[in-house]
Amino acid sequence: MSAEFVARTFEHTDYSSPLRFVWSHVRRHPIIAMMMIIGAFSNAALASVVPVLVGYAVDAIIADEDLAYVRWIVLVIIGSQLVRGALQFMRNYSSETFAQRIERDVRDELYVSLLGKSMSFHDFQPVGEIMARVTNDVREINLMMNPGLNLFIGSGMFILLPVLMSPAIHPALILAPGLFVLSYIIVQFFYVRQLHKVAQEVRASFGRMNASLAESLDGIEVVKGTAQEAQEIGYFNGLVDTVRNWFVRQGDIEARYIAVLLLGLATVGGFLHALYLFEAGAIETGDIVAFMGQLGLFGFPVFSSIFSFSRVASGLASAERILSIIVAQTDLDQNEQGHHAPLQGEIAFQGVDFGYIDGTQVLHEISFAIHPGQTVAIVGQTGSGKSTLTKLINRTYDVDAGTVLIDGVDVRAWNLAALRSQISIIEQEIFLFSRSIADNIRFGRPDATQDEVEEAARKAQAHDFIMSFPEGYETVIGQRGVTLSGGQRQRLAIARAFVTDPRILILDDSTSAIDSATEDKIQKAIWTAAKGRTTILITHRLSQIRWADHIIVLRKGRVAAQGTHEELLRTAESYRRIFARDDDAPARRSKQAARPVTHPTDR
């Protein structure tokens, strides 16, 4: 499987089916698995010994033998059950360790897989649905291991022992337990098939409910701002009802558990058969007691399997959902053997086409060149493809046609980590983590010293407001930086870019939420940082556009014009229209002075 990023490898994992996927994780812990099996077999064997010994005691009492023999039998029973308790502890301890390790491994594997998926994958995946798989579905695999698989193995041993011990009492007594086991296997086969389908719907409906919850919480400001709480509650309740209905459906299947009926029939049939053999003189009274005790062992697998099979069915359904994420092919790969070199900053687009969805192109035949160290402004109306274009430079997305070259090398031929580590993008929508301010600034370079962090903050005009907080750089900000103003978040993002010292710096309308006074300070820092590196500005502010060495005008996903500010004012009507709508009045007056007055309709 291709992936953008691989933190660790998971050897010997079989992704061909959910069952094989689970088994590949189980076999990584052979010692613990063996301890579970030994504990389960010993538990069943020692439980099976009790009715046999009781049968001996009954025969001894009926024959008026010395009660010392009976006392020895009692001591043996007590001793065997003490050993059984110790082995049962070993089994339960092993199974819980087993379950926790597998949950850890599966969660690690899923998380690494999610980090390796391309943006094209994440764009179409609801966050709540992914969270349900990372948390709840992985937890279901834990429960499938323990108590699910633990009880499944244990009940299997309790099925096996009566079949082995009953013929030892009398060969004919194999009839009732043999018929029961055969019928039990057939019934459980169809039971699990039916249960698995419903378990899949339970997990899927829970994922949809979780996705809706995450979306509502993410957009809580919109919900409250439009007074739509009641509507959202009704919609969410509908999803909750769907989850409930599937759980009820699962309960209906479990309520019609035929194995309980089979147990009753086996007990009655076995008792009648034993009485027939007793009357024929083939067995003694104690043998009947021992045999009925063996049949009584079937009670544990019958009643425990109602729960254990449900856990196994849910676990396999969850494994299927997890596996569908892991095996999903991503559009990009890490390309570890790709080109690796310090960037010079030369960028070239050659006939580039791109669309997020097949059949819907956003960019058409884009061609231009940017020289190392140039500052280039990309302007255009909303929806013209400005931000999309920059996402092709660091391979957030790959082109559908054409080529993007960095220093003369196709970006697809670069080592992905080497490429991205030398490119910094400051988005219009700033994302900050719920960590300290210092950790957010050094996020792109974790080894940055405190002095380097503070220096970057000063360049971004962020140091003063950071120091106004009681804890300074150790202040923990809220999720997405909600405790900060828009301008403060953008300055922190700019500081984060300064720390990484990128060879290519892309600012996507990064000063849109900053007041004029602060913008002047940041702009000086930006131009200082732009020296010696390639800088791409996506902006509508003329104060930034006019300083660019080269300007590219996009219109409906195509390059409408390109050149310097003065050249475009003279030759490009599309550029003059953008210029005319800018809210920067002084710049507009400068523009009016720079070109002849045109008719209002031309604007």
Long-range CB pairs of 481-488 (<8 Å, 24+ gap) are 481/430, 481/431, 481/432, 481/440, 484/432, 485/513, 486/430, 486/513, 486/514, 487/513, 487/514, 487/515, 487/518, 488/462
The pLDDT of residue 575 is 83
- The H-or-E segment that residue 283 falls in is none
- The H-or-E segment that residue 297 falls in is none
- The H-or-E segment that residue 477 falls in is none
580 and 557 in contact (C-beta within 8 Å)? no
- The domain segmentation of the chain, as residue ranges, is 18-326, 337-422+549-603
Q: Which residues pair with 534 in a beta bridge?
A: 504
Average the pLDDT over each of 82-91, 441-450, 474-483 and give the range with the smallest value.
Answer: 474-483
Long-range CB pairs of 260-268 (<8 Å, 24+ gap) are 260/302, 260/303, 262/180, 262/183, 262/184, 262/187, 262/302, 263/180, 263/298, 263/299, 263/302, 265/180, 266/176, 266/177, 266/179, 266/180, 266/295, 266/298, 267/292, 267/295, 267/296, 267/298
The pLDDT of residue 586 is 44
Q: Which residues, at least 6 apart from 232, have a Cβ–Cβ distance to it below 8 Å? A: 216, 223
Long-range CB pairs of 523-531 (<8 Å, 24+ gap) are 525/459, 525/460, 525/461, 525/494, 525/498, 526/494, 527/375, 528/459, 529/459, 529/497, 529/498, 529/505, 530/375, 530/505, 531/373
The pLDDT of residue 602 is 33
21 and 15 in contact (C-beta within 8 Å)? yes
Confidence of residue 588 (pLDDT cuts 50, 70, 90): very low
Confidence of residue 593 (pLDDT cuts 50, 70, 90): very low
The pLDDT of residue 125 is 85
The pLDDT of residue 430 is 81
The pLDDT of residue 596 is 37
d(CA 63, CA 205): 65
d(CA 39, CA 28): 19
Assign a CATH topology to domain 337-422+549-603.
Answer: Rossmann fold (3.40.50)
The pLDDT of residue 284 is 93
- Average pLDDT of the chain to the nearest whole number: 86
Q: Is it the case that residue 407 has pLDDT exceeding 60?
A: yes
481 and 489 in contact (C-beta within 8 Å)? yes
**Rounded average pLDDT over 119-141:** 87
Confidence of residue 143 (pLDDT cuts 50, 70, 90): very high
Q: Is it the case that residue 235 has pLDDT exceeding 80?
A: yes
Q: Is it the case that residue 472 has pLDDT exceeding 70?
A: yes
Confidence of residue 517 (pLDDT cuts 50, 70, 90): low
What's the CA dihedral at 44, 49, 52, 57 to 10 degrees?
-140
Structure-token pair, residue 484: 């900060």
d(CA 474, CA 455): 16
- The H-or-E segment that residue 58 falls in is helix 30-62
- Name the 3-class secondary structure at 344: coil
511 and 490 in contact (C-beta within 8 Å)? yes
Intrachain domains 18-326 and 337-422+549-603 with the same fold: no
* CA count, 13 A, side-chain hemisphere, 85: 5
**Rounded average pLDDT over 255-260:** 87
Residue-wise pLDDT for 164-218, tens only, equals 999 999 999 999 999 999 999 999 999 888 888 898 899 899 989 988 888 888 8
- Name the 3-class secondary structure at 276: helix
Residue-wise pLDDT for 391-403, tens only, equals 999 998 899 999 9
Ordered alpha helix ranges (H), 229-378 = 229-255, 259-279, 285-296, 299-326
d(CA 189, CA 193): 6
User: Which residue's structure tokens are 């994420």?
Assistant: 325
The pLDDT of residue 512 is 60
d(CA 464, CA 504): 27
Residue-wise pLDDT for 358-377, tens only, equals 778 899 999 999 999 999 99
The pLDDT of residue 510 is 63
Q: At CA 485, angle to CA 482 and CA 489, rounded to 5?
A: 80
**Residue 1 or residue 96, greater confidence:** 96
460 and 495 in contact (C-beta within 8 Å)? yes
The pLDDT of residue 356 is 87
The pLDDT of residue 3 is 65
d(CA 331, CA 540): 32
The pLDDT of residue 579 is 66
Q: At CA 172, angle to CA 170 and CA 176, rounded to 5?
A: 110
DSSP code, position 346: -
DSSP code, position 505: E
Q: Is it the case that residue 1 has pLDDT exceeding 80?
A: no
**Rounded average pLDDT over 339-353:** 93
**Residue 125 or residue 142, greater confidence:** 142
Confidence of residue 589 (pLDDT cuts 50, 70, 90): very low
**Rounded average pLDDT over 533-545:** 84
- The H-or-E segment that residue 374 falls in is none
**Rounded average pLDDT over 555-569:** 90
**Rounded average pLDDT over 118-127:** 83
Q: Give a three-class secondary structure readout of 394-439.
A: CCCCCCCEEEEEECCEEHHHECHHHHHCCEEEECCCCCCCCCEHHH
d(CA 406, CA 412): 10
Determine what percent of the chain is predicted with pLDDT higher than 70. Answer: 90
Q: Which residues, at least 6 apart from 170, have a Cβ–Cβ distance to it below 8 Å? A: 277, 282, 283, 287, 291
CA 231 to chain centre: 29
The pLDDT of residue 581 is 58
Q: Is it the case that residue 77 has pLDDT exceeding 90?
A: yes
18-326: CATH architecture: Up-down Bundle (1.20)
The pLDDT of residue 161 is 92
**Rounded average pLDDT over 371-390:** 90
Q: Is it the case that residue 410 has pLDDT exceeding 70?
A: yes
Q: Is it the case that residue 584 has pLDDT exceeding 60?
A: no
313 and 148 in contact (C-beta within 8 Å)? no
